[in-house]
């Protein structure tokens, strides 16, 4: 009978320890195959004493054979054992079997015989040994207080270095702590020995008891098995982020409720309580007296036009009535495309006269009740200057009557260089779009076909470089012509083109004053560009003279030049410039500066001459143009004198058109002289300022009949 008691022979509670086969430490012999782990003293267990010495060094009756032996671990002085295990240290220990029972494997190789505590059947020895295992002798822990809770790696590391007394020395077994991490979970520098390292060094057979104990502690156990009690589970939403989230939710919910509930309710209540009536006090109410858009005109006549300006007398004494006016009293108007029903500011370079500026809609506006065209020294589009041009092309046209404007010219009357103009041109040509005026400007011819319609007028002497009329009266019935059988052209009549000149006399310095050229351009040309001046009239030769310039290879100009007052510049004072005309081969044109007539051109001055026929006073629907330019082709440039004047501004107080009561025609499609349909058919060329030439080609139709067709394509481009 085991003197240490039933079950384990040690007096310890049963089922607290699991048995582990005893390994022979530092031995190079293998035990009998039936029990390869039995130590030498196990065969003589009748003395019922566990001898660590015999386990370590006892003779073996088994025939030895060579085995791989681990490095022998040395004895070292043992520090005083702890009285008790630390709180974090695991109390689950593996034990090696002893005589009649099991001991903690951390104490399995301590030689108790040398420490004075051999196992015996005496009760005193049992009590002493139990006292040692319970912590009194520094051998073991109280197994009755074991906890199944796994602990941290640091606790196990501490337990591996605990000292166990053996005569003042401590022996550390390779199996001292089964909770050493596996090779995959430990560092090489720790020198820990695990079951894996043992099986690599000893020729042992697999055994269920050698499998790593599931409750052994490894380094990363706390990552895989965290303690839920370590986490703070307190729920508190009253912090900065929580308050922000709640506030956002309240705002969103309130907005949705206001949109879908509050707004309909408020609108319904306001509808019940509002006073129904007219538009008084309601700026959103549309009324006939309040235009929806400020630039929208309700009629051709500006409501701001004074009643005193509703009627005029023509040069021939006939009564004229106002048919169109724009007073420009509303400030801040713009004239981009489709901004205004009658006027448009263009965005082009006027290449046909080699201007030095770019015409930009930004340079045109209304200010202080005036239309302003501003000329700036502003680099753009590879040019050094920017200015403005407005046109009524294809929007508002007139035929016959009186065109007038009140203008204050830009700059100064004694400084040359600027080229302000106010003029009219036939609607079939668009100013600044050279392909549209090719073969059209400045022709104004009768409805016959002769040498006058041909290129260069069939004159080899270089009188004309014009390409010939594009739309003469003699065309085929199916030709691309707006009104077959009639000569269609794009003539020009200038109200003014302003310049300067020096006064004659011996006074020094020479006085320089402003002047205006009032002219009519025609083609085909007279020989030497000489009209019949017997049918022209100057009303005050001391103020107005006939222009010495009569034309060139591209135009014949019949022009009178009138002196101006230098106060009529730069907004100081305004002057009225006008012409009235009667279209046709028996018509006439009379020009005005102020209330006075300056000169008159009778159609007989343009009668048949040589191989050309009658040139007529323009009968085309005319569009009006106002512009402020600069070009070497018109006047000498005094840039030194102009620099202090920039930005120079041409100001127009109003524009008005008068016609006889029974001859009113304020349209671009007068009967028999329509233009808009033809323009619509060729909208590409009428909207491309880079096209310069319009060619007439012949092509065969599908029926193989010969007919003429107009094609347009560029032969050169302007930048």
pLDDT in tens, 163-212: 444 444 444 444 444 444 444 444 444 445 555 565 566 555 555 555 56
* 76 plus 205 within the same structural domain: yes
Q: Considering the domain boundaries, does residue 567 fall inside one?
A: yes
Q: Considering the domain boundaries, does residue 204 fall inside one?
A: yes
* 479 plus 610 within the same structural domain: yes
* 222 plus 337 within the same structural domain: no
* 354 plus 470 within the same structural domain: yes
Domain boundary among 229, 250, 276: 229
Contact (CB, 8 A) for 10 and 102: yes
Domain boundary among 199, 229, 259: 229
Contact (CB, 8 A) for 560 and 546: yes
Tell me the C-alpha distance between 423 and 402, whole Å. Answer: 12
Could you tell me the pTM of the whole model? 0.59
The larger pLDDT score, comparing residue 22 to residue 631, is at 631
* 344 plus 210 within the same structural domain: no
The predicted pLDDT at position 504 comes to: 73
Q: What is the dihedral of CA 442, 444, 448, 451, to 10 degrees?
A: -40
The larger pLDDT score, comparing residue 479 to residue 453, is at 453
* 316 plus 216 within the same structural domain: no
The predicted pLDDT at position 661 comes to: 94
Q: Considering the domain boundaries, does residue 1 fall inside one?
A: no
Say how many domains are in the chain: 2
Domain boundary among 229, 245, 260: 229
* 587 plus 702 within the same structural domain: yes
Give me the sheet containing 348-349, strands edge to edge.
348-349, 357-359, 385-387
* 511 plus 597 within the same structural domain: yes
Q: Considering the domain boundaries, does residue 100 fall inside one?
A: yes
> Model confidence at 697, in pLDDT bands (50, 70, 90)?
very low
The larger pLDDT score, comparing residue 349 to residue 272, is at 349
DSSP symbols for 469-525: -SB-S---TTSS-SSTTS-B---EEEEEEEEEEEPPSS-SSPPEEEEEEEEEEESSP
Share of the chain above pLDDT 90, in %: 54
Per-residue pLDDT reduced to its tens digit, 633-655: 998 999 999 999 999 999 999 99
Q: Residues 6 or more apart from 273 whose CB is under 8 A from it?
A: none
Per-residue pLDDT reduced to its tens digit, 506-520: 666 678 999 999 999
Query: How does DSSP classify residue 139?
Result: S
The predicted pLDDT at position 417 comes to: 95
> Model confidence at 227, in pLDDT bands (50, 70, 90)?
confident
Please state which of the ranges 48-52, 188-192, 265-269, 698-702 shows the lowest mean pLDDT.
698-702
The predicted pLDDT at position 223 comes to: 75
Average pLDDT over residues 311-337: 95
* 445 plus 566 within the same structural domain: yes
Per-residue pLDDT reduced to its tens digit, 437-464: 999 999 999 999 999 999 999 999 899 9
Instruction: Measure Cα distances from 263 to 258, 270, 271, 300, 483 in Å.
Output: 6, 10, 12, 44, 62
* 392 plus 536 within the same structural domain: yes
Residue 344 has pLDDT above 50, yes or no: yes
* 618 plus 512 within the same structural domain: yes
The predicted pLDDT at position 539 comes to: 97
Enclosing domain of residue 215 = 40-229
Q: Considering the domain boundaries, does residue 411 fall inside one?
A: yes
* 521 plus 642 within the same structural domain: yes
Average pLDDT, the chain: 75
Q: Considering the domain boundaries, does residue 409 fall inside one?
A: yes
Q: Considering the domain boundaries, does residue 242 fall inside one?
A: no
Residue 109 has pLDDT above 80, yes or no: no
Average pLDDT over residues 83-108: 43
Q: What is the dihedral of CA 392, 590, 634, 510, to 10 degrees?
A: -130
Q: Considering the domain boundaries, does residue 2 fall inside one?
A: no
CATH of the domain at 361: 2.60.120.200
């Amino acid at each position: 009978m085991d003197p240490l008691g039933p079950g384990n022979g040690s007096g310890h509670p049963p089922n607290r320890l699991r048995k582990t086969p005893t390994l022979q430490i530092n031995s190079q012999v293998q035990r009998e195959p039936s029990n390869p782990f039995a130590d030498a003293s196990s065969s003589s267990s009748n003395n019922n004493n566990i001898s660590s010495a015999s386990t370590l060094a006892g003779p073996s009756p088994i025939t030895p054979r060579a085995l791989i032996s681990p490095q022998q671990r040395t004895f070292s002085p043992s520090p005083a054992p702890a009285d008790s295990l630390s709180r974090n240290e695991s109390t689950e220990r593996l034990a090696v079997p002893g005589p009649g029972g099991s001991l903690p494997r951390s104490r399995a190789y301590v030689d108790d015989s040398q420490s004075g505590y051999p196992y015996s059947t005496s009760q005193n020895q049992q009590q002493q040994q139990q006292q040692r295992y319970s912590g009194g002798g520094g051998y073991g822990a109280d197994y009755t207080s074991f906890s199944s809770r796994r602990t941290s790696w640091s606790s196990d590391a501490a337990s591996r270095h605990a000292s166990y007394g053996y005569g003042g020395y401590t022996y550390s077994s390779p199996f001292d702590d089964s909770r050493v991490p596996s090779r995959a979970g430990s560092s090489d520098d720790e020198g820990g020995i695990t079951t894996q390292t043992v099986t690599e060094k000893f020729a042992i057979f697999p055994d269920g008891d050698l499998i790593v104990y599931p409750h052994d502690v490894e380094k990363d156990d706390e990552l895989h098995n965290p303690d839920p009690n370590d986490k703070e589970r307190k729920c508190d939403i009253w912090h900065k982020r929580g308050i922000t989230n709640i506030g956002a939710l309240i705002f969103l919910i309130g907005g949705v409720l206001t949109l879908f509930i509050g707004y309909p309710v408020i609108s319904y209540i306001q509808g019940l309580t509002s006073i129904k009536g007219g538009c008084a006090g309601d700026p959103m109410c549309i009324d006939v007296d309040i235009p929806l858009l400020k630039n929208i005109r309700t009629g051709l006549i500006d409501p701001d036009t004074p009643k005193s300006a509703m009627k005029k007398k023509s040069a021939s004494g006939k009564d004229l009535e106002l048919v169109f006016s724009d007073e420009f009293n509303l400030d801040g108007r713009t004239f981009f495309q489709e901004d205004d029903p009658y006027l448009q500011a263009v965005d082009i370079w006027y290449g046909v006269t080699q201007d030095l500026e770019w015409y930009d809609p930004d340079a045109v506006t209304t200010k202080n009740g005036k239309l302003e065209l501003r000329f700036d020294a502003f680099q753009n589009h590879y040019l050094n200057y920017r200015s403005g041009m407005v046109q009524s092309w294809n929007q508002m046209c007139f035929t016959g009557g009186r065109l007038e404007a009140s203008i204050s010219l830009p700059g100064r009357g004694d400084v040359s260089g600027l080229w302000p103009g106010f003029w009219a041109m036939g609607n079939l040509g668009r100013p600044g779009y050279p392909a549209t005026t090719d073969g059209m400007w400045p022709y104004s011819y009768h409805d016959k076909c002769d040498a006058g319609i041909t290129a260069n007028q069939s004159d080899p002497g270089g009188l004309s470089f014009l390409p010939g009329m594009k739309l003469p009266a003699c065309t085929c019935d199916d030709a691309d012509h707006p009104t077959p059988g009639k000569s269609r052209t794009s003539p020009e009549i200038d109200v003014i083109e302003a310049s300067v000149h020096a006064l004659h006399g011996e006074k020094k310095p020479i006085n320089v004053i402003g002047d205006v050229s009032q002219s009519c351009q025609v083609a085909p040309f007279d020989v030497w560009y000489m009209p019949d001046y017997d049918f022209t009239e100057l009303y005050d030769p001391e103020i107005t003279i006939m222009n010495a310039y009569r034309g060139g290879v591209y135009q014949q100009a019949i022009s009178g030049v009138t002196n101006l007052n230098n106060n009529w510049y730069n907004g100081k004072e305004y002057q009225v410039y006008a012409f009235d005309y009667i279209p046709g081969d028996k018509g006439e044109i009379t020009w005005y500066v102020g209330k006075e007539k300056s000169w008159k051109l009778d159609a007989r001055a343009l009668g048949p001459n040589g191989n050309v026929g009658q040139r007529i006073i323009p009968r085309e629907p005319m569009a009006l143009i106002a512009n402020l330019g600069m070009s070497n082709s018109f006047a000498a440039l005094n840039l030194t004198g102009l620099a202090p004047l920039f930005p120079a501004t041409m100001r127009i107080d109003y524009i008005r058109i008068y016609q006889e009561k029974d001859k009113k025609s304020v349209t671009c499609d007068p009967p028999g002289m329509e233009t808009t349909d033809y323009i619509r058919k060729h909208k590409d060329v009428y909207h491309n300022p880079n096209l310069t030439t319009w060619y007439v080609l012949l092509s065969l139709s599908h029926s193989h009949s010969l007919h003429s067709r107009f094609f347009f394509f560029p032969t050169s481009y302007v930048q």
